[in-house]
Structure 1
Amino acid sequence: MKQLFKRYGILLICLSLIGVAGLLNGTMDTLQFHYGKSIFPKQVHEQLLGQPRQFWDPTISWKNKYKDWPHDPRPRFPGATTWAVMFTDAWHLLKALMHGCFHLAILIPLVYYYKFPRWIILAAVVPLNLFFGAAFTLMYGHILLDKDIPAAE
């Protein structure tokens, strides 16, 4: 059994992490595109996993990033519109967890097969997130925007 795990265990762990990432992504898309026919709260007083509709429903949860949208569009807390957005709503939390699964699926084999120290998993999370975030911002905030069209608020 130990030999079997040594041979296939890391592969199974990585495939499981990718599977969990798929589950998280499916939940994100359900929130975004099929909220009305999902299991998520529809009424203001309803909750799921201790969280109200305001946390789950992307049509309103995006406002959680701000102090009092539209009257006070400042971030609700430091990082609420950037690096800590995952704490504002379900969609961004699920996205962060999905990325974490992918990062672990990349890092675990490096530690195991290339004998990197285990702390590298924690140390590499920051640069992986910075690299991903920079690439995302490049596309989302610059390259794909038409500079001639004013931003709608």
Structure 2
Amino acid sequence: MHKTLVLILLFVFMAGASKGVSDTLQFHYGASVFAPLPNQQWWNPEVSWKNKYRDYDSGDSREAYLGSRSLFVWLTDAWHLAQTIETLGWV
């Protein structure tokens, strides 16, 4: 019983922390701890959404790799990864 409760609380904490990360990225990115990090193509939601496409800026909106717009979208940027971790925390 005790181990089960600890596991449940761990998953709830993980979901809440991931929700905080995704909300910060989406609504307060410029003032967040993520803004000065390297690899803005991964962290910055204003540009990272393009990672699921081959070369969106040049007009190539094909998938960057198989499933990058669906099954594997969680691998394309920090926001989608945080959303996936949050969802898994509640499952």
TM-score using structure 1 length: 0.56
- Equivalent positions of 1:53-132 (< 5 A) are 53-70=40-57, 71-103=59-91
Structure ID, larger Rg: 1
- Equivalent positions of 1:23-42 (< 5 A) are 23-42=17-36
Unaligned 5+ segments in structure 2 are: none
Q: CA deviation at 1:8?
A: 2.0
Q: CA separation in 2, counterparts of 1:16 and 1:68?
A: 39
After superposition, the C-alpha distances for 1:107-137 in whole angstroms (9 at most, x for unaligned) are xxxxxxxxxxxxxxxxxxxxxxxxxxxxxxx
SS in 1 for 2:67: coil
Q: CA separation in 1, counterparts of 2:26 and 2:60?
A: 25
Q: CA separation in 2, counterparts of 1:40 and 1:11?
A: 32
TM-score using structure 2 length: 0.91
Matched AA of 1:26: G
Coordinate RMSD, CA, aligned: 1.2
Q: CA separation in 2, counterparts of 1:65 and 1:94?
A: 16
Q: CA deviation at 1:40?
A: 1.1
**Match 1:10 to one of 4, 9, 23:** 4
Task: Give the conservation status (yes or no) of the 8 Å contact 2:14–2:85.
Answer: no
Matched AA of 1:22: G
How many pairs are equivalent?
90
Q: CA deviation at 1:16?
A: 1.6
Q: CA separation in 1, counterparts of 2:67 and 2:16?
A: 27
The structure whose RCO (Cα within 8 Å, separation 6+) is larger is 2
2:34 aligned with 1:21: no
Over 6 Å off, 4+ runs: none
